Amino acid sequence: MKYPADIPDYFKLAFPEGLKYDRKITFEDGGCATATVEMSLKGNTLMHKTNFQGGNFPIDGPVMQKRTLGWEPTSEKMTPCDGIIKGDTMMYLMVEGGKTLKCRYENNY
């Protein structure tokens, strides 16, 4: 399938300078994670470098016990601020047994 010619391609528009973003994820059970992502285009190859670190997850919680089932659908609110775009999203991680784990995503693009 080819990308539609009449729709701007956000990723290609960000290149050759590339695209960088930082993400902080805070889980309602006290767990937290950070991610720094750098993407660039080298020839026709998309280069993607991610540094992801997490901590403070309860040992008996759904993340450490591998009882998560994926994310509920969501959308992100994005706001221009001081030359960057800030994103703020409340997401829900589905957990075995019909439960969810609330997570706040804070993104700087």
Q: What is the pLDDT of residues 1-17, one digit of tens each?
A: 777 888 887 767 767 67
Q: Give the pTM.
A: 0.78
Q: What is the pLDDT of residues 68-96, one digit of tens each?
A: 999 999 999 999 999 999 999 999 999 99
Please list the residues that pair with 50 across neighbouring strands: 37
CA distance 68 to 54: 16
Nearest to 109 by CA among 88, 84, 91: 84
Q: What is the pLDDT of residues 21-75, one digit of tens each?
A: 999 999 999 999 999 999 988 877 889 999 999 999 999 999 999 999 999 999 9
Domains, the chain, in order of start with CATH, read 17-108 (2.40.155.10)
